[in-house]
Structure 1
C-alpha cells in the first residue's frame, strides 16, 4: 500500500495558501515528458532530423527551375572588332537578356544528371537599331562524371540509416529523461523520508521525555538517562530542520529539470518496481533490434568507407562527359524563331590526370584507409561494451528486485521491533540504550528501503532505455 508523505518541499507563505498536490513517480515522469525543456529539446532534435531526411529525399526527385537575366542593359565604351579585323573602342548601348527553364533529375546510381531545358535570348543594339532573338525551344542533356566520387550513391546508403537512428534516439532520450527524473524524484523522496522519520522521532522523544521527567522525580531514572532523553529530542529536532533544508535543495533540482512547480508538490512513495525475470540473451536480442547505437555502428563504418571512396574519387583521373541534343533558331522576331528549327548536338569530354604528384594521391588514400581501419577497431570495442552493459543490467534486475523485497521486510520488522521496544521501555522492562538502538535500526531500515526502491526503479528504466523494449508489456517501445 502506498504511503503518502505529507511534508511540503518548500515551506513559505505562498505554499501555505495553495492546495498541496500529491504526485506519483509516473505522474511526474509523464508531466515532465510533456512540459520540460529537455523533452521539448528532444522533440526539436527529432523534427530537425525529419527535415534533413526530407532534404535528402528531394535530391532524388525532379527539380524545376527558372533562371535568367532581365534586363541586361549596358551603356559603356567597349572594344568592338571591325570588319578588317582590327579592334576599336566604341560607345555602345545594348541589352542582352535571357530566360531559361530547366527540369533536371539526378541519377543516384552513376552520380550523373539528365536535364530538359528551354531557353530564349534577346539582343538589342540601340545605336544600330538592331534586335535579334536566339531561341532554343527544347534541349536534352546529360552530365556524367567519370571516375569521380559519387556523393548521391553514398548518401543513399547512409541517410536512411541516419534517419532511422534519429527516430530510435528520440525514444532513447525520452527513456533517459524518465531515468533521470526517477533519480531526482528519489533524491527528494529520500530527504522527505529523513524529515518524516525525524518528525516521528520528535513526537516519540517528547513523550519519552515527559515520562522520563516523571520517573526522575520519583527516583526511578538517573540524571544521565534524563539528559540523554533531552539530547535525543534535540537531535531529532535538528534532523527535522536539516531534512527540510535538504528537501528544498533536492526540490530545486527536480523543478529545474522537469519544469514542475515545487512549492505545492508532495511525492508519494512508489510501489515496488515490476519484478521481472529478463534473460540476458533476450535483452541483448531486443537491444540489437531496437537500439539506435546498432545503426550508429553501421553508419560509422559506412562513413569511414565513404571517406576512402572520397579519397580515391578526388585523386587520379578526373573526367566529365557532357552531351546535349536540341533545336535552335535565331530571327529578328520571336515567333519566327520557331520556324525552320535547326538541330544542335554537343558532346564534350573533359579530363584531368596528374602525372607527377610525389606520392600525394597514395598518401591521401592510405590515410583514409588507416582511418577506416581505426573506426572498425573502435566500433568493435564499443559494440562489445554495449553488449556487456545490456547483459549486466539484465542480470542485475533480478538481484535488485530480491534486494528490494528483503529491505521491505527488514523495514517492517524494524518498525515492529521499535514499537515493542518503545512500549517495553515505558513499563520499565528495558534500558534507554536498548530503545535508542531500536530507534536507530528503525531509521536505518527505512532509509535502506528507500535506497533499494530507488535502485530498482532506476534499473527498470535503464533497462528500457538500453533495449527500447517494455518487458512488462512484452512489446517494443516504438510500438507504443
Structure 2
C-alpha cells in the first residue's frame, strides 16, 4: 500500500452547490488524501523532510565558493623582517584586496576533506613611495585529514540518512492517523444518517399507532392510559427526529471539513463496506511489524548515536593529530600579465598535535558514562520491543474478537427486525399491548445501532493495527510513501 497514490476519482461538479455527491468509505479516504486539509499539511511536511535531507546530502558533494575583500585598509606599526634576518618595527599604511575561488569536497570514507583553490591579491603601499604588488596562486591543491579520531563525516552522513528514514516513518504514522480520522468521521456521518432515518420511521410508526389508539379508545377497546402512552411515544419520536437531524447535520459538516468539501455540497454516503477476509498469523504479523515499525527505526537510530558517542570518548584519549598538506603554484609581480609567468612551486605540510596527558580521569569517566547510556538504551529497547509485540498481538486478537462481535450484531439485527414485524402485526390485531410494541421497536433501533457501531469499531481497530505495524495485511506488504 502506498500513501498519496490515488486511484481515479470522479469529482466533476464538486464545487457546484446543487450537485449531490455519493461516496463510499474508500472514496472518502481517497478524497481526504487528495484534498483534505490534514493531508495537505502532511504533504508539505513531506516536502520539508525531503528538502532537509537533500540539504544535508549536499554537504557531501563538491562545494564551490567565491570569497574576497575589497578594500581592506590598515595603518599600524608592523614587524618587518630585514634582509639580514633582523626585525624592525615600522609604521605602515596599506590597502589590500583579494579574490579567492575554492572547490572543496568532504571525504566520507576518511573524515577529512580535499580542496582546489585559486586566488589573487593586491597590496597598495602608501607613504614616501606609493607602490603596489600583485600576488597570485593560480592553482593550489590541498588536504585536511584528522588522524586517530572518530570519522565525523561518515557518522553525520549516516545519521542524516537514518534520521530521514525515521522522519518518513513518523510521517507515515501521521498519514494513517489521518485515514483513521476520515473513517471515524465517515462512520459518524453514516450512523447519524441511520439514526435520522430510524427516527423518521419511528415517527411514522408512532403516528400510525397513535391514530389507531385514538380509534380504539373511542370505541372503548383500550384504556386511556394506553392512549396516553402512545401519544407520549409519538412526542418522544418527534423529539428524537429533531435531535437526530441536528446530529446528522453536524456529522456531515465535520466530514466535509475533513474531506476539504464546502458546506454547500450535498453529500450522500453509501453504506459501509463489508470487512475483508484477512488471514492473520500472530507470529508472522509480529515479525513483519518489528522490521517495518516506527519503533524499530527509533531504537536503531538511538543505538547508533550511543555507539558513536562511545567511539568519540575513546578517541579523545588518543593524540588528536590533523594533517594539512597543499601544493601548487604562486607568483608575485607589479604588473598583472607577469603574475602568470614563470610560476613558482609552493608546498606546505603541517601536523597539528593535541595530546591529552592528564585530565584527572575525565575521559575514562566519559567512556564509562557513554557505555552505561548505551547499555541502558539497549535494555529500554528490548523492553519496548516486548511491549510492542504484545500490542500487535492484542490488536490482532481484538480484531478477531470484533469480527465475531460483528457476526453476532448482524444476527441480532435480523432477529430484532423480525421481532418488531411480529409485534407490530400482533398489535394491529390486538394481541399485544402498546408497551410490548414499543419495546420491540426500541430493541430494533438498538440492534441496528449496535451493528453499525460494531462495524465501525472493527474498521478502526484494523487501521490501528495497520498504523502500529506499518503493514498492509490485505496486500501482505509494507506500507510506504511514494
Contact in 1 for aligned 2:57/2:157 (Cα 8 Å)? no
Report the Cα offset of residue 302 of structure 1. Answer: 0.7
**Separation in structure 2 between the aligned mates of residue 85 and residue 275 of structure 1, nearest angstrom:** 93
Contact in 2 for aligned 1:279/1:395 (Cα 8 Å)? no
The match for 1:14 is none
> In the superposition, relative to structure 1, how do residues 20 and 431 fare at CA in structure 2: closer, same or farther (>3 Å)?
same
User: Quick check: 1:380 aligned with 2:382?
Assistant: yes
Cα deviation digits, residues 350-401 of structure 1 (max 9, x gap): 2223434333323433333322222212222222222222222223333322
Contact in 2 for aligned 1:122/1:134 (Cα 8 Å)? yes
**Separation in structure 2 between the aligned mates of residue 478 and residue 97 of structure 1, nearest angstrom:** 55
Report the Cα offset of residue 204 of structure 1. Answer: 0.4
Contact in 1 for aligned 2:112/2:153 (Cα 8 Å)? no
The match for 2:95 is 95
User: Quick check: 1:217 aligned with 2:221?
Assistant: no
RMSD: 2.5
Contact in 1 for aligned 2:168/2:481 (Cα 8 Å)? no
> In the superposition, relative to structure 1, how do residues 372 and 251 fare at CA in structure 2: closer, same or farther (>3 Å)?
farther
Contact in 2 for aligned 1:278/1:395 (Cα 8 Å)? no
**Separation in structure 1 between the aligned mates of residue 49 and residue 310 of structure 2, nearest angstrom:** 26
**Gapped regions of structure 1 (runs ≥ 5):** 1-16
Cα deviation digits, residues 26-79 of structure 1 (max 9, x gap): 22211111112221222122222212222232222222222222x2242x6422
> In the superposition, relative to structure 1, how do residues 414 and 479 fare at CA in structure 2: closer, same or farther (>3 Å)?
same
Report the Cα offset of residue 478 of structure 1. Answer: 3.2
Alignment of 1:193-212 (within 5 A): 193-212=194-213
Alignment of 1:119-138 (within 5 A): 119-127=119-127, 128-138=129-139
The match for 1:116 is 116
The match for 2:450 is 448
Q: 3-state SS of the aligned residue for 1:343?
A: strand
**Separation in structure 1 between the aligned mates of residue 283 and residue 430 of structure 2, nearest angstrom:** 59
Larger deviation: 56-65 or 439-448?
Answer: 56-65
Larger deviation: 226-235 or 305-314?
Answer: 305-314
Alignment of 1:378-417 (within 5 A): 378-417=380-419
Contact in 2 for aligned 1:225/1:432 (Cα 8 Å)? yes
**Separation in structure 1 between the aligned mates of residue 408 and residue 140 of structure 2, nearest angstrom:** 82
> In the superposition, relative to structure 1, how do residues 363 and 166 fare at CA in structure 2: closer, same or farther (>3 Å)?
same
> In the superposition, relative to structure 1, how do residues 114 and 185 fare at CA in structure 2: closer, same or farther (>3 Å)?
same
Report the Cα offset of residue 190 of structure 1. Answer: 2.4
**Separation in structure 2 between the aligned mates of residue 129 and residue 26 of structure 1, nearest angstrom:** 83
Cα deviation digits, residues 293-328 of structure 1 (max 9, x gap): 322221121122233334445566433221122222
Contact in 2 for aligned 1:280/1:392 (Cα 8 Å)? no
Alignment of 1:363-378 (within 5 A): 363-378=365-380
Report the Cα offset of residue 252 of structure 1. Answer: 4.4
Contact in 1 for aligned 2:416/2:440 (Cα 8 Å)? yes
User: Quick check: 1:275 aligned with 2:277?
Assistant: yes
Larger deviation: 448-457 or 338-347?
Answer: 338-347
**Separation in structure 1 between the aligned mates of residue 90 and residue 57 of structure 2, nearest angstrom:** 54
Work out which of the residue numbers 416, 422, 439 in structure 2 matches 1:437. Answer: 439
The match for 2:3 is none
**Separation in structure 2 between the aligned mates of residue 271 and residue 86 of structure 1, nearest angstrom:** 95
Work out which of the residue numbers 353, 356, 369 in structure 1 matches 2:355. Answer: 353
**Separation in structure 1 between the aligned mates of residue 400 and residue 206 of structure 2, nearest angstrom:** 40
Report the Cα offset of residue 442 of structure 1. Answer: 0.5
Report the Cα offset of residue 19 of structure 1. Answer: 4.5
User: Quick check: 1:173 aligned with 2:171?
Assistant: no
Larger deviation: 59-68 or 203-212?
Answer: 59-68
Contact in 2 for aligned 1:277/1:397 (Cα 8 Å)? no
User: Quick check: 1:27 aligned with 2:24?
Assistant: no
Q: 3-state SS of the aligned residue for 2:480?
A: helix
Contact in 2 for aligned 1:273/1:460 (Cα 8 Å)? no
Report the Cα offset of residue 180 of structure 1. Answer: 1.7
TM-score, scaled to structure 2? 0.87
> In the superposition, relative to structure 1, how do residues 247 and 371 fare at CA in structure 2: closer, same or farther (>3 Å)?
farther
Q: 3-state SS of the aligned residue for 1:322?
A: strand
Count of residue pairs brought into register by the alignment: 460
The match for 1:291 is 293
